[in-house]
Amino acid sequence: GNENRELHVLFFPFPANGHIIPSIDLARVFASRGIKTTVVTTPLNVPLISRTIGKANIKIKTIKFPSHEETGLPEGCENSDSALSSDLIMTFLKATVLLRDPLENLMQQEHPDCVIADMFYPWATDSAAKFGIPRVVFHGMGFFPTCVSACVRTYKPQDNVSSWSEPFAVPELPGEITITKMQLPQTPKHDEVFTKLLDEVNASELKSHGVIANSFYELEPVYADFYRKELGRRAWHLGPVCLSNRDAEEKACRGREAAIDEHECLKWLDSKEPNSVVYLCFGSMTAFSDAQLKEIALGLEASGQNFIWVVKKGLNEKLEWLPEGFEERILGQGKGLIIRGWAPQVMILDHESVGGFVTHCGWNSVLEGVCAGVPMVTWPMYAEQFYNAKFLTDIVKIGVSVGVQTWIGMMGRDPVKKEPVEKAVRRIMVGEEAEEMRNRAKELARMAKRAVEEGGSSYNDFNSLIEDLRSRAC
């Protein structure tokens, strides 16, 4: 026996905020269970990562990001969120392939027992194999979107429909889910390079040791079972990883520095009635057009609800798109807060005054909403967010759709008008339907907390993973 030998797990998150945050949350789970945990990143991502790590016992190791001459990226671009805003995402994805040698050199020095690498590093499976250690994939998603993706990939139902807007069923998947071509993670916007990358991601996942899902069994038992039994994949559900942040300070420190003083924010929330504030945030990078922002403002005003609204657009510009008189009428009266930039999202969601969440349906946000026990308005933008939206509205039934049908930036996606915004916000905030959804959401939140506590489903799955890794490390 090597029972007492210390396990060393190396995390290698993809440099995007929406990937780094859940990876660090997951790393915190490992560290808190006594596993030696190291996160590998590039120099310019260190501030974000060390803020998010806070007091947790997690080491950071850096490898150099390739130079801008090698990559064709602007100087200082080491995070895909900045690449996205300038449409350089494919260039960025290609650049990260050059991290392979530096990562392998580091593995040679560090002798980890396992590498937990993001899905966007398909090559990491082979890198780990070179050192005879398992590569585990972390893509930060739950079982439902992963199962939808797998069924679409296998059965290609989209090939049988010609129109972009005609709904079709996802074959084999339990729950009779229908989607349209416009809602698939691959749209006409994508070139062959992206399609090829997704093929590689899938192949490398199949070859890998298994997948860590950011989910808990009770949230989606049908899909957790389907993933393992029908699709025959190995997976551990260790989430919701956002629950590894215990106190207000930890919750406030995830990701970038907040664009609002946390104490001010909490004070404002304290002054409101329970479940009387709707929180709106569309992920770490989405910026809306002025026309869309104006409709949201009008819809919020018409809904009569208190709100905290995170706006990522034109951070240094004046709020010219705000409807006339909005500042005095609404913001001045304490009805709403606009956060321009990064918000302490989990801290806000977990406050008892927050009773609803308007979300772009990134999986992290979806789970954070579940853990806060709030009904959600679904407003998907791209990637697998349309799947996640279906999960909220059709499967767990704690969501109401605002009505968007296609990717943002695609033809036919006009701004959502104030009326559907107002209506959807009211549906999750007031009345019987809201009450029912809130009760279901609160029940899921209770199950989520139980899942990560000693003896819970995620807690136990963590033990299985560690046992498995130990048996290999001998």
Interface pick for ligand UDP out of 8, 254, 426, 427 (rule CB under 6 A): 254
| Residue 369 sits in the site that holds ligand UDP (CB under 6 A) | no
Are 376 and 392 spatial neighbours (Cβ–Cβ below 8 Å)?
A: yes
| Residue 346 sits in the site that holds ligand UDP (CB under 6 A) | yes
Edge-to-edge strands, sheet with 399-401: 336-340, 306-311, 277-281, 354-359, 376-378, 399-401
| Residue 391 sits in the site that holds ligand UDP (CB under 6 A) | no
19 is catalytic: yes
| Residue 281 sits in the site that holds ligand UDP (CB under 6 A) | yes
| Residue 368 sits in the site that holds ligand UDP (CB under 6 A) | yes
Is the peptide bond preceding residue 240 cis, with omega within 30 degrees of 0?
yes
Decide whether 255 or 355 has the Cβ nearer to ligand UDP.
Answer: 255
Under rule CB under 6 A, how many of the chain's residues touch ligand UDP?
19
Interface pick for ligand UDP out of 122, 283, 355, 373 (rule CB under 6 A): 283
For CA atoms 333, 336, 342, 344, the dihedral sign is positive
Decide whether 112 or 362 has the Cβ nearer to ligand UDP.
Answer: 362
Question: What is the b/e burial string over 174-209, where b = at least 16 CB atoms within 10 angstroms of the residue's CB?
Answer: ebebebbbbbbbebeeeeeebeebbebbbebbeebb
- Catalytic residue, candidates 19, 139, 209, 351: 19
CA distances from 336 to 224, 343, 346 (A): 39, 14, 18
| Residue 17 sits in the site that holds ligand UDP (CB under 6 A) | yes
Place of tokens 């290999």: 472
Q: Give the number of other CB atoms < 10 A from CB of residue 307.
A: 24
Residue 368 C-beta: closest distance to ligand UDP, Å: 5
CA distance 14 to 152: 24
- Catalytic residue, candidates 118, 209, 350, 360: 118
261 is catalytic: no
| Residue 288 sits in the site that holds ligand UDP (CB under 6 A) | no
Coil, helix or strand at residue 461: helix
Site for ligand UDP in 42-81 (CB under 6 A): none
CA nearest 116: which of 7, 210, 231? 210
Interface pick for ligand UDP out of 40, 213, 296, 310 (rule CB under 6 A): 310
Residue nearest to ligand UDP (CB): 18
The residues annotated as belonging to the active site are 19, 118
Chain contacts with ligand UDP (rule: CB under 6 A): 17-18, 21, 254-255, 281, 283-285, 310, 342-343, 345-346, 362-365, 368
